[in-house]
A and B are shown apart, each in its own frame.
Chain A
Amino acid sequence: MSILKHRETLLVAVIAALLALIASRFPGFVTPRNLAAVFTDTAPLMILALGQMAVILTRCIDLSVAANLALTGMTVALLNTVAPDLPVVVTLVLAIGLGAVMGAVNGILVWKLEIPSIVVTLGTMTIFRGIIFLISDGQWVNAHEMSAGFTGFPRIEILGLPVLAWIAILAIAVMALVMSRTVLGRAIFAAGSNPHAAAYTGIDVGRTQFAAFVISGALAGLTGYLWIARYAVAYVDIAGGFELDVVAACVIGGISIAGGVGTVAGAVLGALFLGVIKNALPVVDVSPFWQLAISGAAILIAVAFNARAGRRQGRVILKSAEQAA
């Protein structure tokens, strides 16, 4: 457990060092106002990373999150053009519900048909994007077609932070509770770290994976609405390739692709790390030709570090699990 803690403190240190480095070139970046803006900008990535974390912990992967986000976003945007007076609460519930249904489709295929999750979600990813094309006819839904309440909700400021950031904080709090204080949370860890042992203790591994996919889907659906409202535009390719950022955030955050190892704090810090880089690159005057290379290198270094630390962690986790049992 102490090494796990160490991992998160390390990430905090890296992010702090990164901020210091950026501040030396562009002091305005570390003002509280701007840091709040960076946190808000990273909110969608954090929410998605939380869902992805649950899935990865069960030894699966969800590549369909960005497509799920886009389909949910397009659906609520189209709905908004038809029924502009629909309360935002209804939109939120619909978005979460729709996302959860899409997550459940992934989950059922993984659980009942036992198809490897990478294949399932690669397939559903393409299907979801296809459905967006079908329902939108390839057309955009534009800012002036959306109601002011629809696009304004994530921007409402409460105590200096926009609602978008508060929703991310709420999601973090709920997921932290679920992972550490509920039967489901413990089952997710157990199913990932040792499926056979988990089965012997009465945990249905497939069903746990299904639950993880539903969580991931629901959070993706929620992000779908937030994303569309934030950028005030919906089209087929929205958030294209974003699933890779989400997986990268998890991996940087120390969540083991082999399952069973990872924390909510890790996923959040991993997302923040990427968010800081994404927001800093445009202001520190780095040639755009280098930006991609820098982003990639940062991910690779973090992952390489992760792999080294991950090996030691695995043994410690098992020991502590034995002691606990």
Chain B
Amino acid sequence: MKHFAKLLAGAAALGLMAGTASADDMRIALVVKALGIGFFEAAAKGAEEAAGELGDVEIIYTGPTDTTAEGQIEVINSLIAQRVDAIAISANDTDALVPTLKKAMQRGITVISWDSGVAPEGRQMHLNPSSNPLIGNMIIKLAADNLPEGGDVAVLSATTTSTNQNIWIDEMKKVMGDYPGINLVATVYGDDLADKSYREAQGLMQSYPDLDAIIAPTSVGIVAAAQAVADAGKVGEVNVTGLGLPSEMAGAIESGASKSFAIWNPIDLGYAATMIAYNLAKGEAEAEPGAAIGMGRLGEVTLDDTNSGAMADPFVYDSSNIDEFKSIF
């Protein structure tokens, strides 16, 4: 397996060298967790879009055949040997890749991480798909946008101790004032179990007959709640929204139980990572706390103390774009 992977990486490297368009082009490597994953294929599409806009950029889309840190290290080593200009990586391991990426930076290669980060010493900056305040705002906005007259909403979370869920719900509560007329009537916990989430959603509809929306910022919860709403015959009365994946939510959008939901857009993510890598490699921006780096059509990203930044609001999916994305991730 190891040898096979090496061979494959070698072959890929050869193929890429042969495909080099012109010597002056900047070569940006988009390294993903593993090849053949829809999410990353979409990110590569975004990277190509950025390359098309920039003109003098060649994208090298690569990654191991399985999601291992060892596989990524081999890939990075071959990229160093090819002397690429920049590496933008979604890492399989926070720490294991640091020595190899340090080596790359010592050779003058720009290194950034995106989606899944590496430790600060192993990269110049990290691009998060979104941030907690943006997510908190988005989930309540999704519910409020469909309730122009105001209404009652409830949150269906995962477990009571789930850190990111609690942070998002807290951020959501902070901005509730921006959405007058929207009342948060309850927060319940489905423990990320399909059956418990389903039951909790049923309970919400019984306890609050006037409920207008269920916000589930968890992928198991949002699917279960949508099913419960459809089974209760309350499609159109209760809108299920929150964070979910297009492939998992396609059925709920189709049935009408969910009007819209949000999650990162992998195309934008690949686009932004490429733009940032380009700007850093060109020296048009410096990766330091407080710096603002351009991301083309997506505006700018501002870096925090750990040199990481948030790309944008989560991307909204609804009946108009679900078919395009449901096969991607």
* Interface of A toward B, CB cutoff 8 Å: 26, 28-29, 34, 37, 41, 140, 142-144, 155, 227, 231-233, 238-242, 278-279, 281-283, 285, 288-289
Interface residues of B in 161-209 (CB under 8 A from A): 186, 188-189, 193-196, 198-200, 202-204, 206-207
CA distance A239 to B202 in the complex (A): 18
* Interface of B toward A, CB cutoff 8 Å: 160, 186, 188-189, 193-196, 198-200, 202-204, 206-207, 223-224, 227, 231, 247-252, 254-255, 326
Q: Which residues of A contact B252 (CB under 8 A)?
A: 143
Q: Which residues of B contact A278 (CB under 8 A)?
A: 196, 199
Do the beta carbons of B247 and A142 come within 8 Å of each other? yes
- Report 24 cross-chain contacts, Cβ distance below 8 Å, ordered by A residue: A26-B206, A26-B207, A41-B202, A142-B223, A142-B251, A143-B250, A143-B252, A144-B250, A144-B254, A227-B195, A231-B227, A233-B224, A239-B193, A242-B195, A279-B203, A281-B203, A282-B188, A282-B203, A282-B204, A283-B207, A285-B186, A285-B207, A288-B160, A288-B188
Q: A144-B254, A232-B227, A240-B193 are in contact. List 17 more A-B contacts (CB 8 A).
A: A41-B199, A142-B250, A142-B251, A143-B251, A144-B251, A144-B326, A231-B224, A232-B251, A239-B193, A239-B195, A278-B196, A279-B202, A281-B203, A282-B204, A283-B203, A285-B186, A289-B160
Q: Which residues of B contact A143 (CB under 8 A)?
A: 223, 227, 248, 250-252, 255
CA distance A241 to B194 in the complex (A): 12
**Which chain B residue lies CB-closest to A288?**
B189
9 nearest CB pairs, A to B: A282-B203, A143-B251, A144-B251, A144-B250, A231-B194, A288-B189, A283-B203, A142-B248, A282-B200
Q: Which residues of B contact A41 (CB under 8 A)?
A: 199, 202
**Which chain A residue lies CB-closest to B187?**
A288
CA distance A281 to B207 in the complex (A): 11
Do the beta carbons of B251 and A282 come within 8 Å of each other? no
Q: Which residues of A contact B188 (CB under 8 A)?
A: 282, 288
CA distance A26 to B160 in the complex (A): 24
**Which chain B residue lies CB-closest to A231?**
B194
Q: Which residues of A contact B186 (CB under 8 A)?
A: 285
CA distance A289 to B187 in the complex (A): 12
Q: Which residues of A contact B199 (CB under 8 A)?
A: 41, 278-279, 282
Question: How would you classify the secondary structure of chain B's contact residues: helix, strand, loop or mixed?
Answer: helix
Task: Report the minimum CB–CB distance from B174 to chain A (whole Å).
Answer: 21
Q: Which residues of B contact A242 (CB under 8 A)?
A: 195
**Which chain A residue lies CB-closest to B219?**
A140
Q: Which residues of B contact A240 (CB under 8 A)?
A: 193
Do the beta carbons of B189 and A231 come within 8 Å of each other? no
Task: Report the minimum CB–CB distance from A221 to chain B (whole Å).
Answer: 18
CA distance A233 to B196 in the complex (A): 14
A231 interface neighbour in B198, B207, B249, Cβ under 8 Å:
B198
**Which chain A residue lies CB-closest to B196?**
A278
Task: Report the minimum CB–CB distance from A30 to chain B (whole Å).
Answer: 12
B194 interface neighbour in A28, A29, A37, A238, Cβ under 8 Å:
A238
B206 interface neighbour in A28, A142, A144, Cβ under 8 Å:
A28
Q: Which residues of A contact B227 (CB under 8 A)?
A: 143, 231-233
CA distance A41 to B251 in the complex (A): 22
Q: Which residues of B contact A231 (CB under 8 A)?
A: 194-195, 198, 224, 227
CA distance A282 to B204 in the complex (A): 7
Q: Which residues of B contact A232 (CB under 8 A)?
A: 223, 227, 251
Task: Report the minimum CB–CB distance from A158 to chain B (whole Å).
Answer: 16
CA distance A29 to B228 in the complex (A): 17
Task: Report the minimum CB–CB distance from A151 to chain B (whole Å).
Answer: 9
Do the beta carbons of B206 and A140 come within 8 Å of each other? no
CA distance A227 to B198 in the complex (A): 12
Q: Which residues of B contact A241 (CB under 8 A)?
A: 193
CA distance A201 to B231 in the complex (A): 52
Q: Which residues of A contact B254 (CB under 8 A)?
A: 144
Task: Report the minimum CB–CB distance from A288 to chain B (whole Å).
Answer: 5
Q: Which residues of A contact B248 (CB under 8 A)?
A: 140, 142-143, 233
